């Protein structure tokens, strides 16, 4: 009895197994027949599910999908814009690609699709009109210059407590090249949304408040405004501190601290206008005892604004208290109202007489002949400085060449020199028989002046 039961049980197992196997074979071949004309389950083209569809159905579906394609551009401040398929002439390169995918799948490998997506997914190539795409991008609101806020590096604000950092401006300026590249990638992949900010399609400021360079600039600015420069000009003093220096400082396009040299020069020009004395009218005590006003000429103090601009900037960069004199392109004997000092040549052209004083003592004096006033060669008034002195010079002009033993120019081609060809000096000779502008002197007078005078000595000429 037990043996019969075992036989029946064994028989049932065999029959069940056979039935299951037959069922599986039927299902397998039935599905194979189905997948002969249909895509495998899990099939995707450009992320569109085409499972169980025929090639014709896929052609229809994909044509519909591409016509309705829309790429959403997520922009800053919650704004968004769209690019539609029709805007750029978007289309698939060929519908044959879908059939190729189906042919590659075959009908008998359908069961493998559950374990691998190798033959179930594809990205079909699309084409678009590049010119239309560029025009679309150029006409977006986010690329319109009217809506663009330019990015700005941090700036720096000065107050009595020094410089503080002002936050950068991120702005919303689009990097058009990056935008174009990312839009093309999205279209090719069939993506429907891109985030411009996460894809770095915006132009950002090069530096932020957290940048090392920003802190360095702040420290440099505060170092410079901590400087104090005091000019000593004679008995006067002029000081420059943070209240002035901060107006000269800028941060340039290279994010470096720079000086506005024009403003520095402007300050020094005003300083020069105050303290330079070239050409200014001075009160002069003549040998006659009277006090006269003499103006003009090229003698006096003159600040070299170009060189002093560089020296002043260098001093400020030290970040310290600096006491200095300005750089002069020309100096006088002393500062103050009487910068002529007590060594000078005095020429009274009305009296046709010359005096030479050295260290307050009269060295020599004598009559002279100055420029001929009748033919417009009058010797100019003013205070000049002796340019140099020369022995055995030949003075040349239109129609003459005169050798002299002692030549001392002080005003261009005008100077003091001996004139052995003259039999007399002084009086009114200069009115009709004067020189071409020079101061003609007796030989001994010229020699004595020459032997005692130095370059830069003031020459005071007046009528």
CATH number of the domain within which 375 lies: 2.40.440.10
Q: Given pLDDT bands bounded at 50, 70 and 90, which one contains residue 21? A: confident
CATH number at 316 reads 3.10.20.800
In a domain, 225, yes or no: yes
Give the lowest-confidence range in 44-58, 68-82, 179-193, 283-297. 44-58
What is the spatial distance between Cα 416 and Cα 449, in angstroms, rounded to a whole number? Answer: 9
What is the spatial distance between Cα 231 and Cα 315, in angstroms, rounded to a whole number? Answer: 12
pLDDT recorded at residue 8: 66
Instruction: Please write the tens of the pLDDT for every residue from 141-151.
Output: 999 999 999 99
In a domain, 159, yes or no: no
Residues 6+ apart with CB under 8 A from 448: 356, 363, 364
In a domain, 33, yes or no: no
pLDDT recorded at residue 312: 98
In a domain, 116, yes or no: no
Evaluate if residue 421 carries a pLDDT over 80: yes
What is the spatial distance between Cα 390 and Cα 401, in angstroms, rounded to a whole number? Answer: 16
- The answer to whether residues 267 and 316 belong to one domain is yes
pLDDT recorded at residue 54: 82
Strand-strand pairing, 353-358 and 361-367: antiparallel
- The answer to whether residues 250 and 315 belong to one domain is yes
Residue 124 sits at the vertex; the CA angle it makes with 121 and 126, to the nearest 5 degrees, is 155
Q: Given pLDDT bands bounded at 50, 70 and 90, which one contains residue 92? A: confident
What is the spatial distance between Cα 257 and Cα 246, in angstroms, rounded to a whole number? Answer: 11
Question: Which of 355, 347, 331 minimizes the C-alpha distance to 414?
Answer: 347
- Catalytic, out of 201, 417, 436, 461: 417
Evaluate if residue 125 carries a pLDDT over 90: no
pLDDT recorded at residue 48: 82
pLDDT recorded at residue 336: 82
User: What are the structure tokens assigned to 130, written together?
Assistant: 């590049």
- The answer to whether residues 305 and 357 belong to one domain is no
Cβ neighbours, 10 Å, residue 341: 14
- The answer to whether residues 311 and 364 belong to one domain is no
Give the lowest-confidence range in 12-26, 37-51, 245-259, 348-362. 12-26
Q: Which whole number is the average pLDDT over 424-447? A: 97
Evaluate if residue 80 carries a pLDDT over 60: yes
pLDDT recorded at residue 7: 64
pLDDT recorded at residue 50: 82
- The answer to whether residues 454 and 419 belong to one domain is yes
pLDDT recorded at residue 5: 63
Mean pLDDT (the chain) is 91
pTM: 0.74
- The answer to whether residues 326 and 381 belong to one domain is no
Q: Given pLDDT bands bounded at 50, 70 and 90, which one contains residue 377? A: very high
Q: Given pLDDT bands bounded at 50, 70 and 90, which one contains residue 338? A: confident
- The answer to whether residues 323 and 355 belong to one domain is no
Q: Domain count for the chain, please give it.
A: 2
What is the spatial distance between Cα 150 and Cα 298, in angstroms, rounded to a whole number? Answer: 53
Name the β-bridge partners of 164.
157
pLDDT recorded at residue 89: 94
What is the spatial distance between Cα 123 and Cα 190, in angstroms, rounded to a whole number? Answer: 8
- The answer to whether residues 326 and 348 belong to one domain is no
Question: Which of 180, 197, 187 minimizes the C-alpha distance to 47?
Answer: 187
User: What are the structure tokens assigned to 148, written together?
Assistant: 């663009």
Evaluate if residue 248 carries a pLDDT over 90: yes
Evaluate if residue 119 carries a pLDDT over 90: no
- The answer to whether residues 266 and 358 belong to one domain is no
- The answer to whether residues 323 and 356 belong to one domain is no
- Catalytic, out of 142, 201, 436, 438: 438
Q: Given pLDDT bands bounded at 50, 70 and 90, which one contains residue 2? A: low
Structural domain that includes position 398 = 344-462
pLDDT recorded at residue 114: 67
In a domain, 436, yes or no: yes
Evaluate if residue 31 carries a pLDDT over 70: no
Instruction: Please write the tens of the pLDDT for every residue from 345-367.
Output: 999 999 999 999 999 999 999 99
In a domain, 46, yes or no: no
Q: Given pLDDT bands bounded at 50, 70 and 90, which one contains residue 13? A: confident
- The answer to whether residues 453 and 409 belong to one domain is yes
What percentage of the chain carries pLDDT values higher than 70?
A: 90
**Is 438 designated active site?**
yes
In a domain, 48, yes or no: no
- The answer to whether residues 359 and 314 belong to one domain is no
Instruction: Please write the tens of the pLDDT for every residue from 202-240.
Output: 999 999 999 999 999 999 999 999 999 999 999 999 999
Q: Given pLDDT bands bounded at 50, 70 and 90, which one contains residue 115? A: low
Q: Which whole number is the average pLDDT over 15-20? A: 70
In a domain, 192, yes or no: no
User: What are the structure tokens assigned to 294, written together?
Assistant: 């003499």
pLDDT recorded at residue 366: 98
């Amino acid at each position: 009895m037990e043996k019969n039961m075992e036989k029946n049980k064994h028989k049932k197992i065999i029959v069940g197994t056979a039935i299951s196997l037959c069922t599986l074979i039927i299902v397998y071949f039935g599905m194979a027949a189905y997948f002969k004309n249909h895509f495998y389950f899990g099939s995707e083209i450009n992320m569109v599910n085409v499972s169980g569809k025929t090639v014709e159905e896929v052609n229809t579906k994909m044509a519909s999908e591409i016509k309705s394609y829309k790429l959403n551009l997520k922009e800053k401040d919650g704004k968004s814009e769209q690019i539609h398929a029709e805007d750029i002439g978007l289309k698939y390169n060929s519908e044959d690609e879908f059939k190729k995918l189906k042919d590659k799948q075959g009908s008998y490998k359908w069961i493998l699709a559950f374990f691998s997506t190798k033959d179930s997914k594809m990205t079909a190539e699309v084409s678009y009109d590049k010119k239309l795409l560029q025009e679309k991008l150029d006409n977006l609101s986010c690329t319109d210059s009217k809506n663009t806020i330019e990015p700005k590096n941090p700036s720096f604000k000065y107050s009595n407590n020094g410089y503080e950092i002002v936050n950068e401006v991120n702005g919303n300026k689009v990097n058009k090249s990056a935008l174009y590249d990312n839009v093309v990638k999205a279209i090719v992949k069939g993506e429907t949304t891109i985030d411009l900010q996460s894809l770095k399609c915006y132009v950002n400021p090069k530096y932020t408040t957290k940048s090392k360079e920003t802190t360095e600039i702040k420290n440099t600015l505060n170092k410079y405004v901590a400087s104090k420069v005091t000019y000593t000009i004679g008995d006067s003093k002029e000081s420059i501190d943070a209240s002035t220096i901060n107006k000269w400082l800028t941060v340039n396009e290279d994010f470096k601290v720079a000086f506005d040299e024009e403003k520095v020069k402007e300050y020094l020009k005003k300083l020069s206008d105050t303290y330079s004395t070239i050409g200014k009218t001075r009160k002069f005590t003549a040998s006659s005892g009277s006090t006269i006003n003499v103006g003009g000429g090229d003698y006096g103090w003159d600040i070299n604004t170009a060189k002093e601009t560089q020296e002043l900037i260098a001093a400020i960069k030290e970040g310290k208290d600096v006491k200095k004199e300005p750089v002069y392109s020309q100096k006088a004997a002393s500062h103050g109202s009487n910068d002529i000092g007590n060594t000078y040549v005095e020429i009274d052209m009305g009296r046709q007489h010359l005096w030479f004083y050295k260290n307050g003592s009269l060295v020599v004096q004598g009559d002279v002949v100055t420029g001929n006033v009748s033919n417009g060669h009058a010797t100019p008034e003013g205070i000049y400085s002796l340019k140099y002195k020369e022995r055995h010079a030949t003075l040349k002009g239109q129609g003459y060449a005169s050798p002299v033993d002692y030549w001392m120019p002080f005003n261009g081609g005008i100077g003091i020199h001996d004139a052995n060809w003259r039999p007399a000096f002084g009086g009114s000779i200069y009115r009709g028989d004067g020189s071409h502008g020079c101061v003609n002197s007796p030989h001994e007078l010229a020699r004595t002046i020459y032997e005692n005078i130095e370059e830069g000595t003031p020459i005071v000429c007046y009528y």
